[in-house]
Amino acid sequence: MVKEETKSQGIQSIEVGITILKKIAEARKPVSISEIAILCETSKSKLHRYLTSFVRTGMLKKDQNAKYMLGTEILRLGLQASQMLNIKDIAAPHLLDIKESLNETTALSIWGETGPFFVSWEESNRAANIGIKAGSQVSLTKSATGRVFAAFLPAEMTTPKISEELAISSIDEQQFHEITELIKKNGYAYVNSSLIPGINAIASPIFDQSSKLAAVLSVVGIESTLDTSEHSQAVQLIKVKASIVSKMLGFSM
């Protein structure tokens, strides 16, 4: 058995090894020992023992061109970790942070068999009650939350519902397409009194480790207090929080 070091001291060689693994993962392609040395700012001689051990334990794989990539064992561990993640639990403190910063109602939505619906929320302290409830369905074409789902989910999942809603809407298909393209470009959606008179909303996408839309983070408030303009505090905050939750789910640009 290796003598265990104190918690405060740590084991430096393990920390160095983890840094090496992270650099290889960030490369997103097979890399040679020379390339790894540059990424880690160290010598090839120091790297050799780490790489040999990582290959032996399945943390790394070495191909016929002597290049390294993540191995099956580290991928298995990553999958097990991702399966333990609960998006509601991860998003919960961020919903609360947004609510306390803006004093507006915040909510988390996911996609279900019949479309998007709310799964959790934090209600503002204002006298006006927005009325968000767990399980409440969300319009795909009129709500900020729904429009984010429409923008980032595969068309085959959303087209039937979108067509159904647009058939009784003042927005035509071309206009709605332009709206979703703008959402993709800006990274958020907003509506001003389009669903409920006097109520504004902002929403931003949350992505998972496979870069797929996992959920939508939104803030809802009365028109006089919730600023939906691009550089407003509310828009910037919800985009930052959605990005944080995405990273916690394993998403990387």
**From the CB of residue 22, how many other CB atoms can be counted at a distance below 10 Å?**
12
Residues with Cβ within 8 Å of residue 191, at least 6 apart in sequence: 142, 143, 144, 147, 200, 201, 228
The topology under which CATH files domain 12-82 is Arc Repressor Mutant, subunit A (1.10.10)
* Closest to 245 measured CA to CA, from 71, 106, 48: 106
User: What was the pLDDT predicted at 112?
Assistant: 82
User: What was the pLDDT predicted at 3?
Assistant: 41
* Closest to 97 measured CA to CA, from 252, 204, 247, 244: 244
Q: Domain spanning 85-248: which superfamily?
A: GAF domain (3.30.450.40)
Q: What are phi and psi of 221, to 5 degrees?
A: -160, 175
Does the model's pTM come out above 0.75?
no
Structure tokens given for 203: 């929403």
User: What was the pLDDT predicted at 198?
Assistant: 84
User: What was the pLDDT predicted at 131?
Assistant: 60
Equal CATH topology for 12-82 and 85-248: no
The dihedral sign for the CA sequence 133, 136, 141, 145:
positive
User: What was the pLDDT predicted at 253?
Assistant: 72
**From the CB of residue 80, how many other CB atoms can be counted at a distance below 10 Å?**
9
Mean pLDDT by 10 residues, the chain (253 residues): 47 91 90 94 92 93 93 78 75 95 93 84 77 73 95 94 89 92 97 83 94 95 92 97 93 81
What CA–CA distance (Å, rounded) separates 219 from 209? Answer: 24
What residue segments make up the domains of the chain, in order of their start?
Answer: 12-82, 85-248
